[in-house]
Amino acid sequence: MRWLVVLDPLDGLISKTDTSLAVINRARVEGIEVDTATIEELYFEEQARVLATGADGSTEPKVLGGYDLIFMRKEPPYDMRFHYATHLLSLSNTLVLNSPSALRDFNEKLIVLPFAKYMPPTLVAADLSVIGGFISRQGRVVVKSLDSFQGKSVQLLAENDTELLQSFTNGGTKPVMVQKFLEDVYDGDKRVITIGDQVAGAALRKPKQGYHANFANSEALKSPLSAREQAAMDELCPWMVSQGIHFSGLDFIGGYLTEINITCPTGIVQISELEGRDLAGEIVDYFSQLV
């Protein structure tokens, strides 16, 4: 079996905790031939191709259709380079996870909006008067750029923070997400990993300081799902698989769903350690069954 993993440059990844590397290493242990490439190494000449790097470090051109599976792991932001890469991946008849069309269709902030009943009070808007009215009703809020990731471009916002609001919205022309600030974030932001239509595990990321909770600056704690979180997962998991999303990371604060990560979800190394699991092995097994 031959796989291609499309990801960021290998020399910038942290081998001890990186999800992509954990899956690659486990797949190779299972005897799967795994090549890697960046999105810049995807191209089209008569058919979709890639300058692929093998386990021995050698690089050669290959046809995307020659792989049994392509695992798309390029980290956000979702920009036009990322967008064009999904189109090239769509030209292959190979199974791509997550689906390139899903990556194009679902912004990681906006994907949650059809499931607003599980979310904190949320607004998506560019108009400054609309945002101001929401802040007046909700009090403390956070504002998020729609293309941010790992808690970047997430700021507490008060009604009189005109300069910050102008910056985030580019003077009222660029839509942002605004959510009621949840004090529970100081206790932790829960990352829930899914493989297929099943919850694979969860970890509570408790910030070491401030309110930005991610694995880079937080303590990872074992955390079972609450009844509210489980209800959300029972509805979301089958829906995501129906859209071609087979591996994801959902974020909850105080039981409220805030985000669904589908481009490059992380956390399997930390959750495996907390729960005594081998999530990388479970992902490899599941992907192999899909192939």
Domain spans, the chain: 2-101, 121-181, 184-277
37, β-bridge pairs: 6
Hunting for tokens 């910050």 — which residue is that?
164
Of the candidates 71, 86, 105, the residue with the CA atom closest to the CA atom of residue 239 = 105
Query: Which of 140, 163, 167, 139 is closest to 153 using CA atoms?
Result: 167
What is the C-alpha separation between 108 and 78, in angstroms, rounded?
9
Q: What is the pLDDT of residue 172?
A: 94
Residues, the chain: 291
Q: Which residue from 74, 115, 116, 68 is spatially nearest to 96, judged by alpha carbons?
A: 68
* CA gap 197, 291 in Å, rounded: 16
DSSP, collapsed to helix, strand or coil, labels residue 213 as: coil
pLDDT of residue 160: 72
Q: Cis peptide leading into 61, omega within 30 of 0?
A: no
CATH 3.40.50.20 describes domain 2-101:
yes
> What is the chain's pLDDT, residue by residue, as a tens digit (291 residues)?
999 999 999 999 998 899 999 999 999 999 999 999 999 999 999 999 999 999 999 999 999 999 999 999 999 889 999 999 999 999 999 999 999 999 999 999 999 999 999 999 999 999 999 999 999 999 899 999 988 655 557 888 866 788 888 999 999 999 999 999 999 998 999 999 999 999 999 999 988 766 766 666 678 899 999 999 999 999 999 999 999 999 999 999 999 999 999 999 999 999 999 999 999 999 999 999 999
Residue-level pLDDT at 208: 73
- For the full predicted model, state whether its pTM sits above 0.85: yes
Quote the CATH superfamily of domain 121-181.
ATP-grasp fold, A domain (3.30.1490.20)
Domain 2-101 and domain 121-181 have a common topology? no
Q: Residue 162 has what pLDDT?
A: 83
Burial of 44 (0-12, 13-18, 19+ CB in 10 A): exposed
Confidence (pLDDT) at 15: 86
- Rounded Cα–Cα distance for residues 264 and 26 (Å): 18
What angle do helix axes 19-29 and 279-290 make, rounded to 10 degrees? Answer: 70
- Residue 280's alpha-carbon distances to 18, 21, 25, 34, in angstroms, are 11, 9, 9, 14
Fold adopted by 184-277: D-amino Acid Aminotransferase; Chain A, domain 1 (3.30.470)
